[in-house]
Amino acid sequence: MDWGLKNRLSRIIKPKTGKTVMLAVDHGYFLGPTSGLEEPHKTIQPLTPFADSLMLTRGVLRSSIDPAIAPPIVLRVSGGTSILSELSNEGIITSMEDAVRLNVSGVALSIFVGGEFERQTLLSLAELVDLGEKYGIPVLAVTAVGKEMARDARYLSLACRIAGELGAHLVKTYYCEDFESVVRSCPVPVVIAGGKKIDEFDALELSHKAVREGAVGVDMGRNIFQAENPLAMIQAVRAVVHEDATPQQAYDLYCSIKK
């Protein structure tokens, strides 16, 4: 791995703890004005000081994030579909030159293993990795799971391993039973998505289990920005990821900040 790529990756995964709390706010790229992100800057701005990085599209980056105080950026560069169409039919929507111009620390792309356009998304990943290696920008592969796919260790191990084999530098996937085996068989670090909004305690427990079972952290969206108190939630998630807090300790922290 070349110096620039390593340097950028260490802006995302913090060397002090070897962990990361990425704030995912890229949902609009296929979901439109997702609940909680209707006016992105209002949601994102207060959370920014607590996020090790922001995962978002260039549209929201340019319009809603102050370049003078932005944390490291992981730019979503795949898309081209909406919830009204076939989701796996994604392509690359942002050039690497623009990613460089935006001074991002990483780029993210979804792969749809088992999806109708599996091949297209895997070839896009390989192409993006070639460009990432050329410009020194790490690539985060997101293992998107189609409605018909089971989110189990067998499927997620397959998807994560393929992402790693194709050269992704970091993989984002879902927590599942026997998550340890998913991490063990993936040659690169793994972060988890939070998924649909669940109870705050449960989301902290999910983060705790994922980290205990080998994830380097979370790339979490809805369970932070749709929480009753997003500012308290992101700090509680940080306590789990960076300070090894138990779910109960983190939940107590959540409640005390919320007060």
Strands (DSSP E) along 6-132, which ranges? 20-24, 53-56, 73-76, 78-79, 91-92, 106-111
Q: Which is nearer to ligand 5RP, 25 or 253 (CB)?
A: 25
Q: How far is the CB of 214 from ligand 5RP (least distance, A)?
A: 18
Which residue of this chain has its Cβ atom nearest to ligand 5RP in the complex? 221
Q: Which is nearer to ligand 5RP, 142 or 259 (CB)?
A: 142
Q: How far is the CB of 57 from ligand 5RP (least distance, A)?
A: 10
Under the rule (CB under 6 A), what is the footprint of ligand 5RP? 24, 26-27, 55, 110, 142, 144, 193-195, 220-223
Long-range contacts of 197-203 (CB under 8 A, 24+ apart): 197/222, 197/223, 197/226, 197/227, 198/223, 200/227, 200/228, 200/233, 200/236, 200/251, 200/254, 201/247, 201/251, 203/227, 203/233, 203/237
Q: Which is nearer to ligand 5RP, 144 or 170 (CB)?
A: 144
Q: Specify whether 19 is catalytic.
A: no
Q: Which is nearer to ligand 5RP, 109 or 183 (CB)?
A: 109
Q: How far is the CB of 200 from ligand 5RP (least distance, A)?
A: 14
Distance CA 22, CA 48 (A): 10
Q: List % helix, strand, coil for the chain (3-state, nearest 5).
A: 45, 15, 40
Q: How far is the CB of 197 from ligand 5RP (least distance, A)?
A: 8
Query: Which residues have a catalytic role annotated?
Result: 172
